Every structure is written in structure tokens, then in C-alpha cells.
Amino acid sequence: MSDYGRVYRQTRERVTDLVRNLSPEDLQTSVPASPDWSVKDVVAHVTGITCDALDGKLEGTGTDEWTEAQVGARRERSIEEVLEEWGTRAPQLEDAVDSFPPAVGLALIQDLYCHEQDIRGALHAPGARDSEAAQLSLEFNLERLRRRIDKHGLPTLRVRTASTEWTLGDGEPQATVEADDFELSRALAGRRTLDEIRAMRWDGDPAPWLDHLSMYGTPGEPLGESSAAGEASATGV
């Protein structure tokens, strides 16, 4: 199994352990990052991504119709049934990730890790913020930001965290933004409001990048996550 396959499996197993023994009430907890979905719906979605990828059902990938079909097909199943399907099908995907272009493997990890954190936020159960999946997701999101900066002809931006520093764009940086790894990753994944992004440590005017920092837009209200929240281990829950 490739490193990407291993990291995906570890992330899947964390999510499985997190939700397996939840009460019916907790499973129906609304997920602020995806307010139309419950915790169980998010698990159905990531299970559906695995199955659709293996079955070649990729038409409309990423659209609301594609994702809602994944959730709707599993809405009447128990969490045990959904997890059994995921646990049965996912090893085939994890074994195959090494044969995919690296960007595909990274995208799969980023998506699953993002949804892991969505679930953790909804359940007030922080964890895995220093996992391998967290670091790979941050790198993926930063590379996507670099592409958006190039595509839209934006000024060069320096991004600095405790673990990394990136210069995104050509030429001398016109501003620097500093944040911890988790906050930056969540902002890049569309999980922080514009006000929260502005409140990051900016040296320079953030205005040129605000509409492009996230690949998914920004929420209207804060999700209520906190970088200062108690951190569980990277491998546990």
C-alpha cells in the first residue's frame, strides 16, 4: 500500500471509530460545515465517494446532485450497514491509490480529512490535527491556492505557519498571512468566514486574495471550531 493509501486508511479508521458507537441522537447532529447534512449523512457521503470512485460513477463529480445521491442512497441504512460497506469497499481503493496520479491521491485524502474535521466540529470532539492527513491536506490546499493566484493574476502571497512557509505566485510577496496549520487548512477548505480570515495575522492588505483563498467559498457564520480546543492524539480520537 502506498503512503497515500495508508494515510487514507488511517483517516477512514479514525472516522469509523469516532462514529461507530454514537447514539442515534448524536448521529443526527447537524454538521455546521454542511448544514443540510447530519453526522450520519457525512459518513454516507464519504462512503459514497469511495464506491463511486471504484464503480466509475464520476459524471457530475462534486456537484450537489452527485453528493446528494450518495447520501440519499444510504439514508435508510443503519450506521453499522454504512460502515460495513465502507470498510468492505475502501481497501480496494486504498490499495489502488498508488497507481493514480499523485494529485488524485492527495485530493482523496484532503476531502476525507476535511469531512473528518467537519464531523469532529459538530460533535465537539477535536483530534487528528497533527496527523499525516492534516499535513498532506494543508499542502494540497496551498498548491490549489497557488494555482488560483496564477490563474487570476493575483499578487504574490507569502503564507507562514509553524510548520511551513510558502511563497505563492511570481515575484516579491505583496503581503504575508500567518496562522496555525489547522486554521489555515480550514480556511483554505471553505470552513472559515471572511471575518475570520481577515482576523488572521496579515502583514499587508488581504483584500486581493479574500475571494480566492478558499476553493469552496466561505460560510456565513463561524462553525464554532477552536484551535485552542483540547487536542486528541493524531492516531486516536
Partners of residue 128 on adjacent β-strands = none
Q: Does residue 1 have a pLDDT over 60?
A: no
| Strand blocks (E) in 8-91 | 30-31, 34-38
Per-residue model confidence as pLDDT tens digits over 199-230: 999 999 999 999 999 988 999 999 998 654 44
What pLDDT, on the 0 to 100 scale, is given for residue 61?
Answer: 87
C-alpha to C-alpha distance for 166 and 164, rounded to whole angstroms: 7
What pLDDT, on the 0 to 100 scale, is given for residue 225?
Answer: 87
Q: Where are the domains of the chain?
A: 3-122, 132-210
Say if strands 175-178 and 157-160 run parallel, antiparallel, or are unpaired: parallel
Q: 16-30, 35-49, 60-74: which range is least confident on average?
A: 60-74
Q: What is the mean pLDDT of the chain?
A: 92
Q: Does residue 167 have a pLDDT over 80?
A: yes
Per-residue model confidence as pLDDT tens digits over 28-37: 999 999 999 9
Q: Does residue 234 have a pLDDT over 50?
A: no
How many other C-beta atoms are found inside a 10 Å radius of the C-beta of residue 152? 11
How many other C-beta atoms are found inside a 10 Å radius of the C-beta of residue 51? 18
C-alpha to C-alpha distance for 187 and 237, rounded to whole angstroms: 22
Q: What pTM did the predictor assign?
A: 0.92
Burial environment of residue 89 by CB neighbours within 10 A (0 to 12, 13 to 18, 19 or more) = middle
